[in-house]
Structure 1
Amino acid sequence: MTDFPSNKKIILFDGVCNLCNSAVQFVIKHDKKDIFRFVALQSELGNEICKYIGVDQTKTDSIILYNPGVAYYYKSTAAIEIAEQLGGIYSLISIFKIFPEKLRNYIYDYIAKNRYKWYGKKESCMIPTQELKAKFLNSNI
Protein backbone atom coordinates (compact mmCIF):
# COMPACT_ATOMS: atom_id res chain seq x y z
CA MET A 1 0.00 0.00 0.00
CA THR A 2 1.17 3.52 -0.76
CA ASP A 3 2.88 5.54 1.96
CA PHE A 4 0.54 8.33 3.00
CA PRO A 5 1.49 11.62 4.60
CA SER A 6 1.59 11.17 8.36
CA ASN A 7 -1.22 12.58 10.47
CA LYS A 8 -3.45 13.17 7.43
CA LYS A 9 -6.92 11.79 6.80
CA ILE A 10 -7.89 10.91 3.27
CA ILE A 11 -11.22 11.82 1.73
CA LEU A 12 -12.15 9.67 -1.23
CA PHE A 13 -14.78 11.39 -3.35
CA ASP A 14 -16.62 11.06 -6.65
CA GLY A 15 -14.37 13.10 -8.94
CA VAL A 16 -17.03 13.72 -11.60
CA CYS A 17 -19.84 14.80 -9.25
CA ASN A 18 -20.43 18.56 -9.05
CA LEU A 19 -21.87 18.27 -5.52
CA CYS A 20 -18.86 16.24 -4.38
CA ASN A 21 -16.40 18.67 -5.98
CA SER A 22 -18.15 21.57 -4.24
CA ALA A 23 -17.90 19.67 -0.94
CA VAL A 24 -14.17 19.11 -1.52
CA GLN A 25 -13.68 22.83 -2.21
CA PHE A 26 -15.61 23.63 0.98
CA VAL A 27 -13.47 21.28 3.07
CA ILE A 28 -10.23 22.66 1.58
CA LYS A 29 -11.34 26.22 2.37
CA HIS A 30 -12.25 25.38 5.98
CA ASP A 31 -9.47 22.87 6.75
CA LYS A 32 -7.47 25.35 8.85
CA LYS A 33 -5.48 22.57 10.57
CA ASP A 34 -4.49 20.97 7.21
CA ILE A 35 -5.90 17.59 8.24
CA PHE A 36 -7.24 16.30 4.94
CA ARG A 37 -5.90 14.99 1.65
CA PHE A 38 -8.12 14.06 -1.28
CA VAL A 39 -8.31 11.20 -3.77
CA ALA A 40 -10.90 10.71 -6.50
CA LEU A 41 -12.64 7.33 -6.22
CA GLN A 42 -12.17 6.91 -9.98
CA SER A 43 -8.39 7.24 -9.78
CA GLU A 44 -5.93 4.37 -9.61
CA LEU A 45 -5.06 5.29 -6.02
CA GLY A 46 -8.76 5.54 -5.14
CA ASN A 47 -9.30 2.01 -6.43
CA GLU A 48 -6.20 0.80 -4.58
CA ILE A 49 -7.35 2.29 -1.26
CA CYS A 50 -10.86 0.85 -1.64
CA LYS A 51 -9.46 -2.62 -2.30
CA TYR A 52 -7.07 -2.30 0.65
CA ILE A 53 -9.80 -1.37 3.14
CA GLY A 54 -12.28 -3.83 1.64
CA VAL A 55 -14.83 -1.41 0.18
CA ASP A 56 -16.54 -2.68 -2.96
CA GLN A 57 -16.96 0.41 -5.12
CA THR A 58 -19.71 -1.27 -7.13
CA LYS A 59 -21.81 -1.52 -3.97
CA THR A 60 -21.20 1.88 -2.43
CA ASP A 61 -22.06 5.30 -3.77
CA SER A 62 -20.41 7.29 -1.07
CA ILE A 63 -17.73 9.57 0.23
CA ILE A 64 -15.15 7.66 2.28
CA LEU A 65 -13.01 9.08 5.05
CA TYR A 66 -9.90 6.95 5.52
CA ASN A 67 -7.62 7.45 8.51
CA PRO A 68 -4.67 5.22 7.50
CA GLY A 69 -3.89 2.53 10.02
CA VAL A 70 -6.83 3.54 12.22
CA ALA A 71 -10.29 3.34 10.63
CA TYR A 72 -12.49 4.33 7.74
CA TYR A 73 -15.98 5.79 7.57
CA TYR A 74 -18.45 6.21 4.76
CA LYS A 75 -21.79 7.80 3.97
CA SER A 76 -23.30 10.01 6.70
CA THR A 77 -20.74 8.97 9.31
CA ALA A 78 -17.89 10.13 7.05
CA ALA A 79 -19.61 13.48 6.50
CA ILE A 80 -20.10 13.95 10.25
CA GLU A 81 -16.52 12.96 11.06
CA ILE A 82 -15.20 15.41 8.46
CA ALA A 83 -17.35 18.23 9.86
CA GLU A 84 -16.13 17.47 13.40
CA GLN A 85 -12.51 17.67 12.25
CA LEU A 86 -13.11 21.06 10.65
CA GLY A 87 -14.00 22.31 14.12
CA GLY A 88 -15.78 25.51 15.01
CA ILE A 89 -19.42 25.75 14.08
CA TYR A 90 -19.10 22.77 11.73
CA SER A 91 -18.51 20.44 14.66
CA LEU A 92 -22.14 21.07 15.66
CA ILE A 93 -23.09 18.70 12.83
CA SER A 94 -22.12 15.91 15.23
CA ILE A 95 -25.56 16.42 16.81
CA PHE A 96 -26.85 14.21 13.96
CA LYS A 97 -25.13 11.25 15.64
CA ILE A 98 -28.18 11.07 17.91
CA PHE A 99 -30.12 9.69 14.94
CA PRO A 100 -29.64 6.04 14.05
CA GLU A 101 -27.03 5.48 11.35
CA LYS A 102 -29.61 3.63 9.25
CA LEU A 103 -31.84 6.73 9.14
CA ARG A 104 -28.91 9.07 8.42
CA ASN A 105 -27.72 6.80 5.62
CA TYR A 106 -31.22 6.57 4.14
CA ILE A 107 -31.19 10.35 3.69
CA TYR A 108 -27.57 10.28 2.51
CA ASP A 109 -28.40 7.58 -0.08
CA TYR A 110 -31.38 9.57 -1.35
CA ILE A 111 -29.15 12.59 -1.98
CA ALA A 112 -26.37 10.42 -3.47
CA LYS A 113 -28.83 8.72 -5.82
CA ASN A 114 -30.06 12.08 -7.14
CA ARG A 115 -26.84 14.11 -7.03
CA TYR A 116 -26.13 13.97 -10.78
CA LYS A 117 -29.72 14.94 -11.60
CA TRP A 118 -29.75 17.83 -9.11
CA TYR A 119 -26.17 19.11 -9.36
CA GLY A 120 -24.83 17.73 -12.63
CA LYS A 121 -21.81 15.72 -13.57
CA LYS A 122 -18.45 16.52 -15.14
CA GLU A 123 -17.03 14.63 -18.09
CA SER A 124 -13.82 13.97 -16.17
CA CYS A 125 -12.40 14.40 -12.69
CA MET A 126 -11.53 17.87 -11.50
CA ILE A 127 -7.97 19.04 -12.09
CA PRO A 128 -6.65 20.84 -9.00
CA THR A 129 -5.04 24.23 -9.44
CA GLN A 130 -1.30 24.53 -8.86
CA GLU A 131 -1.84 25.84 -5.33
CA LEU A 132 -4.20 22.98 -4.44
CA LYS A 133 -2.15 20.12 -5.92
CA ALA A 134 -0.50 19.38 -2.57
CA LYS A 135 -3.95 18.57 -1.13
CA PHE A 136 -4.47 15.75 -3.66
CA LEU A 137 -2.52 12.53 -3.28
CA ASN A 138 -2.37 11.57 -6.92
CA SER A 139 -1.82 13.90 -9.80
CA ASN A 140 -3.50 11.67 -12.40
CA ILE A 141 -7.07 12.69 -11.56
Structure 2
Amino acid sequence: MNAWRPQPAGDLPDGLILFDGVCVLCSGMVHFVLPRDKAKHFRFIAIQTEAGQVLAKRFGIDPASPETVAVTHNGHALFKSDCAIAIGRRLPGWGWVAAFRLVPRPLRDFLYDRIARNRYSLFGKRDTCLMPTPEVRSRFIDALPDLPKAA
Protein backbone atom coordinates (compact mmCIF):
# COMPACT_ATOMS: atom_id res chain seq x y z
CA MET A 1 0.00 0.00 0.00
CA ASN A 2 1.30 3.43 -0.95
CA ALA A 3 1.76 5.82 1.98
CA TRP A 4 1.67 8.76 -0.47
CA ARG A 5 4.73 10.41 1.00
CA PRO A 6 6.79 12.71 -1.24
CA GLN A 7 8.95 10.81 -3.72
CA PRO A 8 12.15 11.91 -5.46
CA ALA A 9 11.44 13.49 -8.86
CA GLY A 10 14.47 15.66 -9.51
CA ASP A 11 14.65 14.40 -13.10
CA LEU A 12 11.22 15.88 -13.87
CA PRO A 13 10.35 19.51 -14.55
CA ASP A 14 9.07 21.46 -11.56
CA GLY A 15 5.35 22.21 -11.67
CA LEU A 16 4.28 19.15 -13.65
CA ILE A 17 0.73 18.15 -12.68
CA LEU A 18 -0.33 14.55 -13.39
CA PHE A 19 -4.13 14.37 -13.45
CA ASP A 20 -7.01 12.10 -14.43
CA GLY A 21 -8.07 13.53 -17.79
CA VAL A 22 -11.51 11.90 -17.82
CA CYS A 23 -12.45 13.05 -14.31
CA VAL A 24 -14.62 16.18 -14.42
CA LEU A 25 -13.31 17.32 -11.01
CA CYS A 26 -9.67 16.83 -12.01
CA SER A 27 -10.21 18.59 -15.34
CA GLY A 28 -11.96 21.35 -13.42
CA MET A 29 -8.84 21.74 -11.30
CA VAL A 30 -6.80 22.18 -14.49
CA HIS A 31 -9.27 24.81 -15.73
CA PHE A 32 -8.99 26.53 -12.32
CA VAL A 33 -5.19 26.61 -12.39
CA LEU A 34 -4.70 27.72 -16.00
CA PRO A 35 -6.01 31.32 -15.77
CA ARG A 36 -4.52 31.89 -12.30
CA ASP A 37 -1.05 30.63 -13.17
CA LYS A 38 0.09 33.87 -14.83
CA ALA A 39 3.76 32.84 -14.52
CA LYS A 40 2.98 29.60 -16.41
CA HIS A 41 4.77 27.59 -13.76
CA PHE A 42 2.49 24.57 -14.14
CA ARG A 43 2.32 22.13 -17.01
CA PHE A 44 -0.13 19.29 -17.26
CA ILE A 45 -0.02 15.65 -18.23
CA ALA A 46 -3.09 13.43 -18.34
CA ILE A 47 -2.70 10.01 -16.82
CA GLN A 48 -4.36 8.59 -19.94
CA THR A 49 -1.34 9.52 -22.12
CA GLU A 50 1.53 7.10 -22.54
CA ALA A 51 3.90 9.36 -20.57
CA GLY A 52 1.19 9.87 -17.94
CA GLN A 53 0.91 6.13 -17.47
CA VAL A 54 4.67 5.80 -17.11
CA LEU A 55 4.70 8.51 -14.43
CA ALA A 56 1.70 7.02 -12.67
CA LYS A 57 3.36 3.61 -12.46
CA ARG A 58 6.60 5.19 -11.28
CA PHE A 59 4.76 6.93 -8.45
CA GLY A 60 2.62 3.90 -7.52
CA ILE A 61 -0.61 5.31 -8.94
CA ASP A 62 -2.87 2.82 -10.71
CA PRO A 63 -3.43 4.40 -14.16
CA ALA A 64 -6.76 2.54 -14.50
CA SER A 65 -8.05 3.84 -11.18
CA PRO A 66 -6.00 6.80 -9.97
CA GLU A 67 -6.39 7.70 -6.29
CA THR A 68 -4.55 11.01 -6.45
CA VAL A 69 -3.33 13.89 -8.52
CA ALA A 70 0.44 14.47 -8.36
CA VAL A 71 2.63 17.54 -8.76
CA THR A 72 6.39 17.89 -9.00
CA HIS A 73 7.68 20.48 -6.57
CA ASN A 74 11.27 21.21 -5.54
CA GLY A 75 12.58 17.88 -6.84
CA HIS A 76 9.80 15.76 -5.34
CA ALA A 77 6.44 14.39 -6.41
CA LEU A 78 3.65 15.32 -3.99
CA PHE A 79 0.31 13.57 -3.69
CA LYS A 80 -3.19 14.02 -2.31
CA SER A 81 -3.58 17.00 0.04
CA ASP A 82 0.15 17.88 -0.17
CA CYS A 83 -0.32 18.20 -3.93
CA ALA A 84 -3.39 20.43 -3.60
CA ILE A 85 -1.61 22.68 -1.09
CA ALA A 86 1.53 22.95 -3.24
CA ILE A 87 -0.52 23.93 -6.29
CA GLY A 88 -2.57 26.48 -4.36
CA ARG A 89 0.50 28.07 -2.79
CA ARG A 90 1.93 28.85 -6.26
CA LEU A 91 -1.20 30.65 -7.45
CA PRO A 92 -1.48 34.40 -6.84
CA GLY A 93 -3.99 35.12 -4.08
CA TRP A 94 -4.14 31.49 -2.95
CA GLY A 95 -1.10 31.35 -0.67
CA TRP A 96 -3.45 31.09 2.31
CA VAL A 97 -3.95 27.39 1.50
CA ALA A 98 -0.56 26.83 3.15
CA ALA A 99 -2.42 27.10 6.47
CA PHE A 100 -3.85 23.63 5.77
CA ARG A 101 -0.36 22.21 6.39
CA LEU A 102 -1.13 22.79 10.08
CA VAL A 103 -3.75 20.05 9.82
CA PRO A 104 -2.10 16.64 10.20
CA ARG A 105 -1.59 14.88 6.85
CA PRO A 106 -3.63 11.79 7.84
CA LEU A 107 -6.68 13.98 8.48
CA ARG A 108 -6.14 16.03 5.31
CA ASP A 109 -5.71 12.88 3.24
CA PHE A 110 -8.74 11.24 4.85
CA LEU A 111 -10.86 14.14 3.58
CA TYR A 112 -9.09 14.09 0.20
CA ASP A 113 -9.83 10.35 -0.11
CA ARG A 114 -13.55 10.81 0.58
CA ILE A 115 -13.81 13.20 -2.35
CA ALA A 116 -11.46 11.23 -4.62
CA ARG A 117 -13.31 7.94 -4.14
CA ASN A 118 -16.62 9.54 -5.03
CA ARG A 119 -15.45 12.03 -7.66
CA TYR A 120 -17.08 10.27 -10.62
CA SER A 121 -20.44 9.91 -8.92
CA LEU A 122 -20.35 13.46 -7.50
CA PHE A 123 -18.88 15.34 -10.46
CA GLY A 124 -19.03 12.97 -13.43
CA LYS A 125 -16.67 11.29 -15.83
CA ARG A 126 -15.97 12.11 -19.47
CA ASP A 127 -15.83 9.50 -22.20
CA THR A 128 -12.64 11.05 -23.52
CA CYS A 129 -9.69 12.89 -22.04
CA LEU A 130 -9.72 16.66 -21.55
CA MET A 131 -8.76 18.38 -24.81
CA PRO A 132 -6.87 21.66 -24.29
CA THR A 133 -7.75 24.69 -26.37
CA PRO A 134 -5.14 25.96 -28.85
CA GLU A 135 -4.39 28.88 -26.49
CA VAL A 136 -3.18 26.58 -23.71
CA ARG A 137 -2.04 23.54 -25.73
CA SER A 138 1.65 24.31 -25.06
CA ARG A 139 1.02 23.81 -21.32
CA PHE A 140 0.05 20.15 -21.85
CA ILE A 141 2.65 17.43 -22.18
CA ASP A 142 2.06 14.26 -24.16
CA ALA A 143 5.57 12.88 -23.84
CA LEU A 144 8.68 13.27 -21.75
CA PRO A 145 11.63 12.32 -23.95
CA ASP A 146 13.81 10.90 -21.18
CA LEU A 147 11.18 8.50 -19.87
CA PRO A 148 11.01 4.87 -20.97
CA LYS A 149 7.94 3.74 -22.88
CA ALA A 150 4.95 2.34 -20.97
CA ALA A 151 5.02 -1.43 -20.62
- Please report the TM-score for the alignment, with normalisation by the length of structure 2: 0.80
Number of paired residues?
131
Query: 1:73-109 CA distances to partner (integer Å, 9 max, x unpaired)?
Result: 0000000000001132x11011110010000000000
Q: Residue 44 in 1 paired to residue 78 in 2?
A: no
Q: Aligned equivalents of 1:116 and 1:64: distance in 2?
A: 18
Give SS of 1:130's match.
coil
- Structure 2: how far apart are the matches of 1:79 and 1:130? 26
Kindly report which structure 2 residues correspond to 1:113-132, keeping only aligned pairs within 5 A, or say none. 113-132=117-136
Match of 1:97 among 97, 101, 111: 101
Greater helix percent: which structure?
1
Give the % identical residues. 37
1:63 aligned residue: 69
Tell me the CA shift for residue 60 of structure 1.
Answer: 5.0
Residues 82-93 of structure 1: pairs in structure 2 closer than 5 A: 82-88=87-93, 90-93=94-97
Mark the runs of 5 or more structure 1 residues left unpaired by the alignment: none
Q: Could you tell me how far apart the structure 2 residues matched to 1:13 and 1:103 are?
A: 22
Distance 1:94 1:102 in 2: 16
Instruction: Please give the per-residue CA displacement for 1:25-47, whole angstroms capped at 9, x wherever unaligned.
Output: 00001001110000001211111
Unaligned stretches of 5+ residues in structure 2: 1-10, 144-151
1:127 shift after superposition: 1.0
Q: Following superposition, which runs of at least 4 residues in structure 1 exceed 2 angstroms of deviation? A: none
Structure 1 length as normaliser, TM-score? Answer: 0.85
